[in-house]
Structure 1
Amino acid sequence: MFQQITKGIKISVKTTYNGIITRGHFNYHAFSYFITIENKSKDTVQLLERYWTIHDSLNKTEFIEGEGVVGQKPILHPNDEYNYKSNCFLLSTHGAMSGNYKMIKTESTERFLVTIPTFQLTTTPTLN
């Protein structure tokens, strides 16, 4: 598990490899990542935006940004946690993701970035 705390917001990430899928003429390695966001601060916060950097060892680096996560902009009160699952598809058997969330303190309207720790996406090694 990969973890990091920024300004009282703890991000934990677990990954799984789901096998190969075919899209068009390409075979992709499918990965799922499970993220837990814990509010360890004394402020109520809301996740507004996400920014991802996806490194695929056989492909160019991809940059993704957008509102919320999985269609939601969760509000976390002190000691709340929010969990979600998403997916990533790589041409390679290994890569990595990193990024950050833009969040806002709901009372002061102060915006800040929370670091998502770099995590590896790797297929399960096979033995002969």
Structure 2
Amino acid sequence: MVTEITHGIKVTVETEYQPDYSSPIQHHYVFTYRISIENQSEYTIQLMSRHWEIHDSNGQKREVDGDGVVGQQPVLEPGAVHKYVSGCNLKTGIGKMLGKYNMERQLDGKRFDVAIPEFNMMVPFRMN
């Protein structure tokens, strides 16, 4: 589990390898990640968009941009937490992701970025 706080917004990430959806023989590895976004600031905010960098251990890098997360643009009051689960596929059994959320402060419409901490994805049999 990794955590980072930016502008009073705490982002925590946990990953899990999904062997039932993976096929190492075909170089297809599936991971899920659980994200918790906690508003520790004094302002109500809305998550507007996301930007991801996805790195495979073979040197390939992909970038993904989109509105909200898993089809939602959640509004978080001070003290609120939004959790979601999503997934990623890699061509190797080791990789990493990092990124940022673009948030909007509801009081005045000010936009700001919140870091998504870098996290590793590794199939369990690679750890030995």
Same fold by TM-score, threshold 0.5 exceeded? yes
State how far apart, in whole Å, the 2-side matches of 1:60 and 1:91 are: 9
Gaps of 5+ in 2: none
State how far apart, in whole Å, the 1-side matches of 2:44 and 2:81 are: 11
1:115 counterpart = 2:112: no
Write the deviation string for residues 44-88 of structure 1: whole angstroms up to 9, x where unpaired.
Answer: 000000000000012520000000000000000000000000000
Write the deviation string for residues 15-66 of structure 1: whole angstroms up to 9, x where unpaired.
Answer: 00001535xx944111000000000000000000000000001252000000
Structure 1 equivalent of residue 5 of structure 2: 5
The code of the aligned residue for 2:121 comes to L
How many equivalent residue pairs? 126
State how far apart, in whole Å, the 2-side matches of 1:27 and 1:120 are: 18
TM-score (norm 2): 0.93
Q: 1:107 to 1:125 in 2, by over 3 A?
A: same
State how far apart, in whole Å, the 2-side matches of 1:64 and 1:44 are: 26
Structure 1 segments of 4+ aligned residues over 4 angstroms from their partners? none
Contact 2:93 2:126 in 1 (8 A): no
Higher strand share: 1
Contact 1:59 1:92 in 2 (8 A): no
Deviation at 1:108, TM superposition (A): 1.1
TM-score (norm 1): 0.93
The Cα RMSD (Å) is 1.8
Higher helix share: 2
